[in-house]
Amino acid sequence: MVDVAREAGVALSTVSRVVNQDPTVGAEFARRVQTAIDTLGYRPDEQARQLRRGTSRTVGVAAREMSARNPVLAEFELGAHHAGLVVFGASTADDVERERAVVLSMAHRGFDGVLVEPIGTDHSYLAAEIASGLAVVAVDRPMSGPPTDAVLSDNAGGVRLAYRQLAAHGHERIAYIGDHERIFTGRERAAAFRACLAADGKAVAGLVHTGETEQERISAAVRSVAAPGVRATALVCGNVTTTLAVLTHLAAEVPRAERPAMVGFDDFPLAGLLDPPLTVVAQHTTEMARAALRLMTARLAETERPVETVTVPVSLLARGSGEIGPRT
């Protein structure tokens, strides 16, 4: 902190107030201190701060199940336990600032490694932590900024499987409804679908709808692709949240005999019990988790090893909804 104060040209107490997020520090002083922190690679010693305060400001949660909605995390937890590692999890709630706070808090509390499902578009704030030995593995999406190990699904391959399945059953007008393209998986899957249309010599106009995974937006997209001038007879859904929203809309507004054929990206419980059972592109979450754990343990053992990205194949589970021909 003395070095930071000297670099910033401020008092030591000012550095302390900035580090402890005192809102009364002037903006110019805060900027100078933060610039000095970034320049020098300064990291607060969280354990020392805890000793001084007499409190960690950390609360643990020991619930029966926290990973039921994230099968990769569930499998990773199991493998980590067998490897003698303890996993403490926190939700980032798809919020960039919350992600930064959670990951940095874990780093400053002496965690050996962090498994991250990235949200933000700039993870350069982790460069100093990684240089200091923090093992970071990204899952489902790559991280931006410092190179990190990553485990991804074959997003483009999955979309091609879905498109070809519908085309093989006679569909000429296939539409895509997916997540916002600011998200890596949303961007990859939408781009792959556009490439499928281009390969078939079809125009994209009116057939690709991406954005927030909100019911109103997705219902509007379903109405749009069914409207005159588009009249899509089949849908590819970009993720499980989109799939469920599309199913909700169809059940409420579209007679069964008029519903389009459909393939969803991501499997989920009860998908096989729908009428018709839902055809999906299934991600191999067990393989993803095992790959993530392998990368994590390898990085912990050898911090200087080359960065590695593992892409796990996906599979098409044909159950019925994707095997319906165009409605006449």
Residue 32: how many other CB atoms lie within 10 Å: 19
Here the tokens at position 286 are 């067990």
End-to-end CA distance of the chain: 74
Under 8 Å between Cβ of 43 and 128? yes
Across the chain, mean pLDDT equals: 91
- 311 vs 62: which has the higher pLDDT: 311
State how far the Cα of 182 lies from the Cα of 117, in Å rounded to an integer.
Answer: 15
pLDDT of the residue at 17: 86
Under 8 Å between Cβ of 192 and 160? yes
State how far the Cα of 262 lies from the Cα of 277, in Å rounded to an integer.
Answer: 10
Q: Lowest mean pLDDT: which of 117-131, 195-209, 269-283, 314-328?
A: 117-131
**How much is the average pLDDT of 241-262?**
96
Model confidence band, residue 274 (pLDDT cutoffs 50, 70, 90): very high
State how far the Cα of 106 lies from the Cα of 51, in Å rounded to an integer.
Answer: 17
- Pairing relation of β-strands 113-116 and 135-139? parallel
Q: C-alpha distances in angstroms, 86 versus 82, 139, 300, 307, 321?
A: 10, 18, 14, 24, 41
State how far the Cα of 90 lies from the Cα of 102, in Å rounded to an integer.
Answer: 7
Q: Which domains does the chain have, with CATH numbers?
A: 2-42 (1.10.260.40), 71-152+286-312 (3.40.50.2300), 155-283 (3.40.50.2300)
**How much is the average pLDDT of 213-239?**
96
pLDDT of the residue at 270: 94
Here the tokens at position 77 are 């937890």
pLDDT of the residue at 222: 98
Instruction: Count H helices and E strands in the chain, helices first.
Output: 12, 10
pLDDT of the residue at 219: 98
pLDDT in tens, 14-60: 988 887 778 888 889 889 988 888 888 777 765 666 556 665 566 66
Percent share of the chain, pLDDT over 70: 94
What are 175's strand-pairing partners?
Answer: 235
Region of residue 128 (left: phi > 0; alpha: psi -120 to 50; beta: else) = alpha
Of 163, 164, 200, nearest to 178 (Cα)?
A: 163
Under 8 Å between Cβ of 315 and 282? yes
Helix, strand or coil, per DSSP, at residue 302: coil
pLDDT in tens, 61-106: 667 777 777 889 889 999 999 999 999 888 888 889 999 999 998 9
Amino acid at 309: T
Percent share of the chain, pLDDT over 90: 69
β strands within 126-196, DSSP E: 135-139, 149-153, 174-178
In this prediction the pTM is 0.82
State how far the Cα of 179 lies from the Cα of 282, in Å rounded to an integer.
Answer: 17
pLDDT of the residue at 211: 96
- Pairing relation of β-strands 279-283 and 314-317? antiparallel
DSSP 220-245: HHHHHHHSTTT--SEEEESSHHHHHH
pLDDT at residue 177 tops 70: yes
State how far the Cα of 227 lies from the Cα of 221, in Å rounded to an integer.
Answer: 10
pLDDT of the residue at 68: 73
Backbone angles phi, psi at 201, to 5 degrees: 70, 25
State how far the Cα of 260 lies from the Cα of 189, in Å rounded to an integer.
Answer: 20
